[in-house]
Each structure stands twice: as C-alpha cells, then as structure tokens.
A = this chain, B = another copy of it.
Amino acid sequence: MYKIVLIGAGNVATHLLAAFYNSQNTKVVQVYSRNTEVGKILSKKYDVIATDKFDYLVNADLYLICVSDYAIPEVSNLLPFEGKLVAHTSGATDISAINSKNRMAVFYPLQSFSNGVDIDFSPIPICIEALNSDDLKLLFEIGKSISSSVQEISSKQRQLLHISAVFVNNFVNHILYIANDLANHNGVNFDLLKPIIEETISKAIKKTPLNTQTGPAMRGDTDTIKKHLRNIQNDNYRKIYELISKSILDTYA
C-alpha cells in the first residue's frame, strides 16, 4: 500500500483524490489545502485527514503537488523535509521546478479536468519522470493503481506534448465555441451541429486526421472560401478561418 500526500485542493487534486480513493494499492493519507473549508469537505467525502499547515505534513511515499504552475517552486520550497519523493502534476513545467532538497519527480495526468465532472481515470495517460530508476518504478506502480497507461516522458517531451494538448483541448474547444457563437447569431440551434462534431472526432480517432480532412480548403475551392469570409463579421473569427484554411492548403499542397 503506497501512502500519498496531496498538496492542493483544486481540480487536479480532487480528481486524483477520487481516483486513489477507489484504488486498492494506494491510500491518500493527507490533503493539504490552504482553504480550510475546502479541506473539510474533501476530508469528509474521501475519509482523509486535511491540513492547512506544511509543518503538519505526515510521512508518505509520494508528495503530489497539484497547484498552479507558477506556485510549484514556492510550494516545493516550503516543504519542511528533505530527501523525499516530491512530484508536480503539470504538463508545462520542468521537473527542476521542484526544490532539489527532495527527490524531484513529475506525475502528469494528460487530461482536462473540470470541477464537478466525474471522470474514468483508467484510460488517462500518466506521464512520469524521475531522477533514478527506483523512483521511476515507484511512480509507475502508483500510476498503474489508477491508470492502464503509464508512460515515462522527459520534461522536454512533456512540454511539447502539452502544446499538442493545448491544441486538441483548448483550441478545439474554442473552435466549437466560435461555431456555436456563429450559429447563435444565425438563429440556428447549436444542437444541429452535434452529430457532425461527434462524427468528426470519431473518424479522426479511428483513422488519422491527415486522412479525414475534407472541405473547401482541402478541395482548393476558393469561391466557397471567399464567400464564407465575406459572411464572417468578427475579426478574430475571420482571421482564424483564413489562417487555418491556408494551413490546410499548405498541408495538402
């Protein structure tokens, strides 16, 4: 049974807490939350000790820092112990953000977590990194207790992978938002677009996005592209339409 202390009480911490709570091989022995009210709620829901003081942190096999990227160095500096395994959970942050008085590591679940949306952890890739093979093995075992996909990924690779994640999550979501906004202005229900959205993703995942591209830009249909551009009022949206169309044209040229 691996003992884990979670530091932070936001989305990532809460989802990890739920996942570890349902696992046989791991136990979250403590949650650190700056906000004592949030700490109390998690404490009750997951039968775990909460604290708002770093000095009260108990012994564990792994300390998981689940805070905003910018706060990782400060929080890791404040830990009142040395030589322990301390991992952050950020995609965009180098392993060296952890103070080297402890054994630096990374435990990054490649997923987008939202407050109040339950999620099945088992397919979520967990990208791990550590400075020696023993720590790596420990992270691997702990990862395996909640996910079927645990991968060793270097800081450099993870930061590049995080860029891909920004494209598929943040940018795809914003493209859907734009379509929704255009539909609203057009007096059409966004629901009409849901079947084509689902089919788009299903096909791109079954085949590969390179082979599932269709549309005016792919066909080099400049008449339709021009007609569409004339009909888009919002400057950002029109520029995005132009630029992605150009990128599609360049990809298949």
Contacts and interface: CB of A to CB of B under 8 A. Distances in A.
Interface of A: 69-70, 92, 110-112, 114, 117, 119, 123-125, 127, 149, 151, 153, 157, 159-180, 182-183, 185-188, 190, 192-201, 203-205, 208-210, 212-218, 221, 223-224, 227-228, 231-232, 236-237, 239-241, 243-244, 246-248, 250-251
Contacts of A247: 174, 178, 236-237, 240
A20 B9 CA distance: 54
Overall SS of chain A's interface = helix
A157 B188 CA distance: 8
A161 B199 CA distance: 17
12 contacts: A124-B195, A149-B192, A163-B228, A163-B241, A168-B179, A169-B197, A169-B215, A172-B172, A177-B210, A194-B205, A236-B243, A236-B246
B110 A214 contact: no
B197 A180 contact: no
Contacts of A241: 163, 166-167, 171
A239 B231 contact: no
A119 to B, nearest CB: 7
